[in-house]
Copies of this chain bind each other. A is one copy, B any other.
Amino acid sequence: MTNKRILLDHGSGGAASRELIESIFLPRLDNPALAKFEDSAILDLSSTRLAFTTDGYVVDPIFFPGGDIGKLAVHGTINDLAMQGAVPLGLSLALILEEGFPMADLVRLADSIAQASRESGVPVVTGDTKVVPRGKADRIFITTSGVGAVPEGIVLGSNMARPGDAVLLSGFMADHGITIMAARSGLAIQSSIESDTAPLHGLVAALLQEAGSAIRCFRDPTRGGVATVLAEIAEKSGVRIELDEKALPVRPGVATACELLGLDPLYLANEGKCIVIADPGSADSLLSRMRGTPAGRDGVRIGRVVRDDAHPGTGKVILKTAIGGRRIIGPLSGEPLPRIC
């Protein structure tokens, strides 16, 4: 690219748009479906059950310890598919760019997207670029969608937790959320913490292979954190979930930063962690298998599903605290952490 900055013309759909795509994205995201450069890609499926998801990424800052908005978008969409038990087949990439956005940053993001796609084995097969005038967007927003094939026999859902089930978490809480908040606050501690952004489809495939029929659901605790996801599961399944505070994994640096910033790690986003609700009889073997994967090596059991006797059918998450107390954990409310992803 001869231009150092994004021009409005780069979003026109004409020659400058083509030049941008052909010089920056096609070489990095090379695959047969994308190379055809039609407005939609054609993929061959191994299954006729399709998972389909979308997510917009507006994270601020766009580069942060452990990742950037591009890597986050690739991983996030792969993970939304993986949480359904789907094998991710392809991603779409829609960019909204602010006029004047530095071309060097776009190249850096394209490299990062390409690397995340390559390492995950999930190609970007179609895309779109729009440019809005200066001041009409904040640098770059990325929306990724994804399609995946759902293997026969997989039935998962947030409404399927049953009393007795084990609650597993694949690693430390809040890494992504606190990294973003610390970066924005200029907190010096940020050098010791970084985003956990990572793809989870390998972990999911391993667990489904280990004991697929024992698994009720996978959920990744992104916006709203572990608390919000568990509150949703409890509500949809009409059960109570009891968490053991001592078992909740938080890195020391993250715990310190949370205290300094007055944030609760239970409500902070992860971008490479997975909650698994599973039959208790398979919980140990699942945990062991989890720990054998790169994404799940710090996996732990954090609680269990119980009958909601007090308020049957309404769902609730209870934290059993280290000193023996019990605290009700609701979904995130009234404390927005904007632009965390």
Using a CB–CB distance below 8 Å, which chain A residues touch chain B?
7-9, 11-18, 36, 38-58, 80-81, 83-84, 86, 89-90, 92-96, 99, 125-133, 135-138, 141, 143, 145-148, 150, 157-158, 220, 222-224, 228, 269, 330-339
Contacts and interface: CB of A to CB of B under 8 A. Distances in A.
Contacts of A129: 56
Contact of A42 (B50, B54, B130, B158): B50
A52 B48 contact: no
A208 to B, nearest CB: 15
Contacts of A125: 52
10 contacts: A12-B337, A13-B228, A39-B83, A40-B52, A43-B49, A54-B94, A56-B143, A94-B145, A133-B338, A143-B143
A86 to B, nearest CB: 7
Contact of A80 (B40, B48, B52): B40
A261 B316 CA distance: 61
Contacts of A143: 54, 56, 94, 96, 128, 143, 145
B54 A92 contact: yes
A41 B53 contact: yes
A14 B223 contact: yes
B136 A86 contact: no
Contact of A44 (B18, B39, B49, B58): B49
B141 A332 contact: no
A157 B40 CA distance: 11
Nearest to A158: B38
A78 B41 CA distance: 13
Given A84-B38, A96-B141, A52 B90 contact: yes
A13 B54 contact: no
Contacts of A128: 54-56, 143
B13 A223 contact: yes
Nearest to A334: B9
Majority-rule SS of A interface residues: mixed
Given A145-B92, A224-B12, A44 B50 contact: yes
A11 B132 contact: no
A8 B336 contact: yes
A133 B339 CA distance: 9
Given A9-B334, A83-B40, A84-B38, A127 B49 contact: no
Contact of A130 (B58, B92, B132): B58
Contacts of A46: 48
A333 B15 contact: yes
A56 B13 CA distance: 12
Nearest to A337: B12
A137 B52 CA distance: 26
A45 B40 contact: no
A321 B271 CA distance: 58
A130 B72 CA distance: 15
Contact of A45 (B45, B157, B333): B45
A333 B44 contact: no
A126 B53 contact: yes
Given A15-B331, A16-B333, A51 B40 contact: yes
A53 to B, nearest CB: 3
Contact of A338 (B8, B36, B84): B8
